[in-house]
Amino acid sequence: MSRIPLIVGNWKLHKTIRETSDFCRSLKEELLSGPNGPALREKKAEAAVAPPFTALSAAAQALENSPFHVSSQDAFWAEGGAFTGEISPKMLADAGCRFAIVGHSERRQFFHETDESVNKKAAALAAQGLIPIVCVGETLKERQEGQAFPVVERQIAEGLKGLAGMKPDALVIAYEPVWAIGTGQTATPEQAQEIQAFIRGLLEKIFSGPTAGGMRILYGGSVKADNIAELMAMKDVDGALVGGASLEVKSFARIVNGCIPNK
Ligand code: PEP
């Protein structure tokens, strides 16, 4: 089944409202007036930016009527209530989000995110019609101890519990080996493919074969303009979650251009 390539820029704790608006306007200009403008308008590939919560609305406004989307970097599962500091899926939809990243390794490492909380967040997002981007991936120690497959298997099984009824385009998985995030040490295309094919197999057990075949699995970890093409050449790499290289318009635009199928 054909899957539309997707590139998501995770800005982490970067950019003010003004910087976000300027970035989004320049990104539209850069990509839509370039050689791949028509392909992007025809949705041959998709791109989204994930600014901090404060700048989500500004990004949505700046990208209105364009083929580009907005993602949050996290979400909470409750619709409302006494949860100081949290943001609900309904609020994210209201701010103009289409996607929401959940389970990023930085949230797992620094903010006590667990497979259980990832699962609650993904379910709440899906119920609101938002597309969760569920991040999974092993640490360097886990890889060295031969635990990469069991760790990813547990994160997928626990993180997607109870979500079996989802449609192919309602869920995105991001495989992000923790040792490759922000280190400049990208996984080789073969390493990414090996785990992402494994993830596809896990999705087939949870969802039907055709559904799993239509779900996008992104790779994340030191993706740059000069390595996106070799990663995209892998059968089960359907796009990328990009950190550092998404902060600058030209660099992010080159990555988006690099994921467009040249057929
Ligand atoms: C990320 O934060 O999800 C990420 C992949 O970061 P970087 O591209 O900087 O490694």
Q: How far is the CA of 246 from the centre of ligand 1 (A)?
A: 9
46 lines ligand 1 (CB under 6 A): no
| Cβ atoms of 137 and 178 closer than 8 Å | yes
Q: From the candidates 46, 69, 104, 142, which is the catalytic residue? A: 104
Show the tokens assigned to 216.
């996008």
Could you tell me the pLDDT band of residue 262, with boundaries at 50, 70 and 90?
Answer: low
Q: Whose CA is nearest to atom 6 of ligand 1?
A: 243
Neighbouring C-beta atoms of residue 224, cutoff 10 Å: 17
Closest ligand 1 atom number to CA of residue 12? 2
Residue 112 confidence (pLDDT) above 80: yes
Could you tell me the pLDDT band of residue 208, with boundaries at 50, 70 and 90?
Answer: confident
Q: From the candidates 113, 138, 142, 176, which is the catalytic residue? A: 176
> Considering all CA atoms of the chain, what is the largest pairwise distance in Å, rounded to the nearest integer?
51
Q: How far is the CA of 80 from the centre of ligand 1 (A)?
A: 30
For the segment 7-33, what is each residue's pLDDT rounded down to a tens digit?
A: 999 999 999 999 999 999 999 999 999
244 lines ligand 1 (CB under 6 A): yes
Instruction: Indicate the helix (H) or strand (E) that contains 101.
Output: strand 99-102
> What secondary structure letter does DSSP report for 188?
P
| Cβ atoms of 206 and 187 closer than 8 Å | no
Could you tell me the pLDDT band of residue 209, with boundaries at 50, 70 and 90?
Answer: confident
Looking at residue 1, its pLDDT comes to 63
Please spell the DSSP secondary structure of 115-180, one letter per residue.
HHHHHHHHHHHHHTT-EEEEEE---HHHHHTT-HHHHHHHHHHHHTTT-TT--GGG-EEEE--GGG
Looking at residue 176, its pLDDT comes to 98
182 lines ligand 1 (CB under 6 A): yes
Closest ligand 1 atom number to CA of residue 135? 3
172 lines ligand 1 (CB under 6 A): no
176 is catalytic: yes
For the segment 125-178, what is each residue's pLDDT rounded down to a tens digit?
A: 999 999 999 999 999 999 999 999 999 999 999 999 999 999 999 999 999 999
Rounded Cα distance, 122 and 151, in Å: 19
50 exposure class (CB count in 10 Å sphere: 0-12, 13-18, 19+)? buried
